[in-house]
Amino acid sequence: MKEIEKAIRGQGLAKEEIVTLLSITDKNEMDELFAAARQVREKTFGKKIFMYGFVYFSTWCRNNCNFCYYRKSNTIARYRKEPKEVVELAVRLAESGVHLLDLTMGEDPIYHKESFASVLEIAEDIKRETGLPVMLSPGVIRDELIDSFAELGVEWFALYQETHNREIFKNLRVDQDYDERMHAKLYAKEKGMLIEEGLLAGIGESYEDIADSILKMKEIGASQVRVMSFVPQAGSPMESVHTPGRELELKIIALLRLVHPKALIPASLDVDGIEGLQCRINAGSNVVTSIIPPLAGLAGVAQNSMDVDEGGRTVQEVSSILREMGMEPATALDYRAYIEQLFAENGK
């Protein structure tokens, strides 16, 4: 297809061309799209794949997002890990071989009340104990708190809009402000942090909406871009909405790669578990996220327990699959070198 050939040549894709590629249904054309994404990925990353440890350390949240299991009004069992335990889990993940530690939380009212003092302490201890880069996924926080994490040297700030269609955003994130959420990540980037942006597939968006999101991610300078398929959650207003066929997520991954050739693009274990890894890598991903140590009392997000205690989300299991695919698990030094390159390109 001419659009794919254009992307391979590094000429970029316009919105209408992205929509055309999202619309393909022919298997041969999809195979061509995925092969192109792999080719573009290999130009920058070779066969190397990065791996992220995931520590979802508080499932308390002040928000009532219509798509989320952990929404404030859902009557579920919740936890808030003690700082010492969070650090111990992070050290355990570091020793297993991950390249980054993703500290994720709901918008926990307790942390907001204490101005994130304990979270700052956790991040500082983890950086000291492991020496690994840290990604913070705290939801919307005040500028002065972003200042504090940036001064601490936290490398990444992750905050997803889920969609860049304001009407859909309003229906997903009840009583939340689109611009306030966008500001937080842009402010973090201004302060020298790398930012991750993400979208949710299958929540009523059009191909045009998806194309807008892919291009918006480029416009804001996100260094890591991702997509996850919507998974209905018990007790949420959207629990009867069907999860989309995974072809949509895979096409979006491939298009993210073609539009963002040097970006880090996750293949999340949080949607389909370890069984969903290979197809996402084949679509152009170069990061495996949501690696969780078994029997640690931690939950995932989209699938809060899938493959966790069975040991399916470990570096060992992921590395075995990658090698069978002809890919190579990267090293922590590989990852550090790449993000230092990103910092340099961002002028930091």
Q: What pLDDT, in 10s, does the model give residues 331-345?
A: 999 999 999 999 999
Residue 223 amino acid letter: S
Q: What is the mean pLDDT of residues 283-292?
A: 94
Closest residue by Cα to residue 247 from 191, 288, 207, 293: 207
Residue 298 has pLDDT above 70, yes or no: no
Residue 307 has pLDDT above 80, yes or no: no
Residues 300 and 140: their CA atoms lie apart, in Å, by 20
Q: How many CB atoms lie within 10 A of CB 89?
A: 22
Q: What pLDDT, in 10s, does the model give residues 18-77?
A: 999 999 999 999 999 999 999 999 999 999 999 999 999 999 999 999 999 999 999 999
Residue 161 amino acid letter: Q
Residue 258 has pLDDT above 80, yes or no: yes
Contact 140, 180 (CB under 8 A): yes
Position 134 scores a pLDDT of 98
Position 290 scores a pLDDT of 87
Q: Name the pLDDT band for 10 (thresholds 50, 70, 90).
A: confident
Angle at 317 between CA 136 and CA 253, to 5 degrees: 55
Position 295 scores a pLDDT of 55
Q: What is the mean pLDDT of residues 245-249?
A: 97
Contact 48, 286 (CB under 8 A): yes
Q: What pLDDT, in 10s, does the model give residues 187-220?
A: 999 999 999 999 999 999 999 999 999 999 999 9
Please state whether the predicted TM-score (pTM) of the whole model is above 0.85.
Answer: yes
Position 301 scores a pLDDT of 59
Q: What is the mean pLDDT of residues 254-278?
A: 95
Position 310 scores a pLDDT of 57
Residues 178 and 160: their CA atoms lie apart, in Å, by 11
> With pLDDT > 90 as the criterion, what percentage of the chain qualifies?
89
Three-class DSSP labels, the chain: CHHHHHHHCCCCCCHHHHHHHHCCCCHHHHHHHHHHHHHHHHHHHCCEEEEEEEEEEECCCCCCCCCCCCCCCCCCCCCECCHHHHHHHHHHHHHHCCCEEEEEECCCHHHHHCCCHHHHHHHHHHHHHHCCCEEEECCCCCHHHHHHHHHHCCCEEECCCECCCHHHHHHHCCCCCHHHHHHHHHHHHHCCCEEEEEEEECCCCCHHHHHHHHHHHHHCCCCEEEEEECCCCCCCCCCCCCCCCHHHHHHHHHHHHHHCCCCECEEEHHHHHHHHHHHHHHCCCCEEEEECCCCCCCCCCCCCCCCCCCCCCCHHHHHHHHHHCCCEECCHHHHHHHHHHHHHHCCC
Average model confidence (pLDDT) across the chain: 94
